[in-house]
Chains A and B, each alone.
Chain A
Amino acid sequence: MILAPLGAEVTVIQNATIMSEGAKGTFKGSIVVENGKIKEVGDKVMVPPGATVVDAQGQYVIPGIIDCHSHIAVDGGVNEGSVSVSSMVNIRDVINPEDIAIYRALAGGVTAANILHGSANAIGGQTLVLKMRWGTDAEGMIFQGATPGIKFALGENPKRAGSSGGGRAGSAGRYPATRMGVEDVIREAFNEAKQYKATWDAYDAQVAKGEHPLPPRKDLKLEPLKEVLEGKRFVHAHCYRADEILMLIRVADDYGFKIKTFQHVLEGYKVAKEIAAHGAGGSTFSDWWSYKVEAFDAIPYNAAVMTKKGVVSSLNSDDAELMRRLNTEAAKAMKYGGMSREEALALVTINPATQLGVADRVGSIEAGKDADIVIYDKDPLSNYSKVQKVWIDGNKYFDRDSDVSGRPGKDLEKKKLADKEKAEATPARGGRGPQ
């Protein structure tokens, strides 16, 4: 079943507690969905004729959760770890719409995710934003209109990856082996990219003048860096320590580009002012740390502190399992940092939307936005709540009732196949039959 890109059906969700994350705040009311968009939100709405009415009495509705850092739905490895600069590779080439993690994310209320290359390289691969349109194909998964990105990585991972000597200086293996080296790799790459850009700009100018010069060679490694310099591609930088965060801001300033988000950014609370001044977002974990030395200095107040200092902050999963319960990750910011309910939920809805440059499309329940909507049976900030229904672009992609009722049928089908295989295998294993 390949769904139409935009739900043609008209749906009205009534009597719900709507945590809109928009100007209207939290209120009891209804949502009208038409042509894949939210048409109207309010205490009282007109139900268009022929609309499917969903009575959400006693239930909660939130905008679809957005995960700013995920590695699901990728075929054949998330790390092109062979080289220090792997900007030539692109997640877009290897989207796997069959990954069951997509469906599980949906069941956890996630409707969009920033799918990143791994962190093995100082400059990693190209990234993109997907919508969790389970059942569609690779192209159908793509969040059209979202600005593509590129992964950078600082610290231990890029300096350890691909080095047989465990990253110690002097060991045989891939450069760099130190944090200094990581900075150098990034600077060298942008030196190259600037030169490359100049070559192409000169060519384009000649062509504009009506000349017919030989075009320069297209270099897939430098193309996306040229786009970063031109502001056409977002930089999402994996980082932990305050010193390296400052380092990357200096590098970006030197070369005239912006870091769109610092990812993980566990020491972001130490340099929140500088991050805010650069205009970058911070996408962090709620309370996941100490899994390596550079992650020792983390605090669960990170998201709250960064927010208070003016950094647009979000909480991400980096993990297919954690991705299913980002709602309760957000809730932790109420305990650690005293965030309000709306502020906490914003960490997994409107804030990541802002960080990914798609806040005009998703992240809140407001008229004109994409109809990416989740119904929880209870308070979404409670770990007793369960996702009931999920819509993306007005199409329903998850329904807990039909999931549960469909299970026995699926089990039966599987059993039938297993029995058939067993029956076919038996005579062969038993040797000659009576013939």
Chain B
Amino acid sequence: MTTRRDFVATTALAAGALALGRPQDAAAHSRLVPHVQDRMDAPTRDLLLLAIDSCKRAGASYADARIQRVQRNSIFTRERQILDVVDSDTMGCGIRALVDGCWGFAATPRLTAEGIQRAANEAVATAKANRIARDKSVELAPNPAHPDATWSSGFTIDPFTISIEEKTTLALAVNTAAMTVPGVRFVSTQFNFLKEERNYANTDGSVIAQTCVRTYTPIAITAVSADRSDFAIRESVVQPTGRGWESVLENDLVVNAKKWAEEAAEKLKAKSVEPGRYDLILAPSNLGLTLHESVGHPTELDRAYGYEANLAGTSFVAPPEKALGSLKFGSPLMNIYGDRSQPGGCATIGYDDDGVKPDEFDIIKDGIFVDYQTTREQAMWLDWWYKKRGMATRSHGCSYADSWSSVAFQRMPNVSIRPGAKDIGWNDLIAATDRGIAIMGRGSYSIDQQRYNGQFGGALFLEVRGGKVVGQLRDVAYQFRTPDFWGAMDMIGGQKSYELYATFSDGKGQPGQANAVTHGCVPTRHKQINVINTGRKA
């Protein structure tokens, strides 16, 4: 782990390079090799081992500790103005202890031997206090130790080595390009970068050092009518990614900004949708969030057992003994899998916060539900199912804590749809549709606490007539019952149309935690879905 002192030296160097005026172009960067993770440094390792040893001595049967550093850098702009430049850096240690089958957790920013010992004692004391409310003991699925493991996400340009000047210049150029379009009055461009250094050790003997980077550059372009009686927004144009500055350069933001601005201006004049049933053609940039909410969340095992009942909710994919291998989730074209290994995925990681190396696993096979997302604790609950299928009982590696100060629990891996066998894409789906709406980007989204009734908007709605796009629509939202919506999927894009959709901040848990997750998607068509008009006059 780099110390904050090293970090200052790095940024000073980067700033110096820029002061010489050397342009940072994509071609120059493409020669850079992916970041390689060093083994954990001795002081961090010593503190982690002190944490878990202290828990053991105080009576824990199992313990793990994470020393994490999260750096964030954000640039906020509107039109020709810089609103803010914000850098943050947080570091601390979270310690989890299992005593007599009960969990306790404590988190501290005091990274000294004294601070760590105190937090370890707090974690054990909390676990012990919990024993009076214990009914069943926590049991962890077997997991091999990973001593001295390292992993890094596949970024080639660390965004934290790029100067503020270069970032702000690009963000303002995006705004300027968008503002050249008549009718466009407002643009906001944000650049957000995050770098996590995750150091982990557990009493099974794992010691793991990992680094990951995430990038998100949301842009919103607003067109306002001349008499100020109406406005329209084009947003959701760029996906978050588990990559670095290289991804920003590849997105060609300045050139595309003008196109997105033209779409905003056209949206303002678009006709309001006639409610009714339509065939929907959903781009990966729209389908991703619908998949996330209607498939990703209900297949979390903690939800199925009621562990999130008080806030995020339970699941219609329950009880597990009735759902596994039996529940018809959607059409036979529907194949969904979980993984934490796709390059550029926001949930991609080498080892999870239980010290598990995640695997790729089927969640829905030919439309039938076959497995849940799990952690070490949860995998044991499905021991009977894995034995029945002749599989080893193991966690799928979905344990995650969003900060050193948060307790690890089950979070979504990358949950993706497998491409269809036919080599077709977006244009083929449109050409095959007589009366439909093609939807791009995310808009309003809402789904009930068991994930049955969803209502989703979008960023851009294209009216399809006779196999052709005839213009934009607005005020569109599609509303469905989850198994009906997936059952109505009758066309699906092939491998060449596979794209990554991602969400930067997905909430779950109490206290609330946010994770970032990617959904690999192809364009899909869903027959005769209920479309409502969300526009209302005051």
Q: Do A and B bind each other?
A: no
